[in-house]
Structure 1
Amino acid sequence: MPNFPSTGGGGFELISTLFPILFIIILALIIFSMIRSGARYANNASSPRQSVYATITSKRMDVQFYSHTDANDQMHTTNSSHTYYYITLQFDNGERKEYLDVKNIYGLVAEGDTGYAATQGEWIVAFERNQEVSRDNSRF
């Protein structure tokens, strides 16, 4: 039989060294993400509410899916999703900015609507549609 040199468990030593390092890095990234989200929320919540005349130029949804398998039962998987709604406003100076809808107004507004938008930081919290209709746009 051939005589193979002994590796002395080098592969196991490498994994036992890398695993704690990777675990700490992943844990640090999760904590950093949570702190950043909390800081963003606090910043938006403490921002002054502003009302500005604008036109809604677009709306979009961002659906994020999550899947979790129970460690004790590989046959049981929990799937969930969360949908974020965004509304883009164009102001009189031509500037456009996208806002996160936190007050569920997404379904109440349409692209092309003009009116006064109440914003707070990166959030849109209200939209009061302009009720004026020109004679060219009237149906009667």
Structure 2
Amino acid sequence: MMGFNMFSGMFSIVFILIIGMFIFTIVKGISEWSSNNKQPIIPVESVITSKRTSVTHHHHNTGDNMMHNSTSTSYYVTFEFGNGERLELKVSGRDYGLMAEGDRGVLSFQGTRFISFNRK
């Protein structure tokens, strides 16, 4: 009986932590989106210094003893400005595929949001 109460208490704590993390993630995303919207769109001459991807693997139990696996890929590009400052931005897979290290052009961004890169 005591083991059941202990399990019930642990389950409640884990459940509250998961819900808290979920709410925190939503609030953080909305905050970043709002902050970006308040920023001006800045066009700046830059050169692409590096590109990278981040692959995340997801494992889902479908409930009938079947596992479903999926992956998602995020794409990042680092831009360097004339003053030596660098900025890494998340870009779409389409934009990532159109860019190459060493490309020069005008980067337009808004806060942490990539808008466009027009190669020269």
TM over 0.5: yes
- Look up the match of 1:78: 68
Please name the residue that 2:119 is paired with: 129
Query: Which amino acid is the alignment partner of residue 124 of structure 1?
Result: F
Choose from 74, 78, 100 the match for 1:110.
100
Distance 1:58-1:37 versus aligned 2 partners, 3 A rule: same
Q: Tell me by how many angstroms 1:15 deviates.
A: 1.6
* Cα distance in 1, alignment partners of residues 65 and 43 from structure 2: 51
- Ranked by relative contact order (alpha carbons within 8 Å, sequence separation 6 or more), the top structure is 2
Match of 2:78 among 88, 105, 108: 88
Does residue 67 (structure 1) correspond to residue 59 (structure 2)? The answer is: yes
Q: Which protein is richer in helix relative to its size?
A: 2
TM-score by length of 1: 0.76
> Aligned partners of 2:58, 2:117: CA distance in 1, in Å?
31
2:37 counterpart of 1:54 = no
Identity %: 38
Secondary structure of residue in 2 paired with 1:105: helix
Residue 46 of structure 1, CA deviation: 4.3
TM-score normalised by length of structure 2: 0.87
Runs of 4+ with >6 A deviation: none
CA distance in 2, matches of 1:47, 1:57: 24
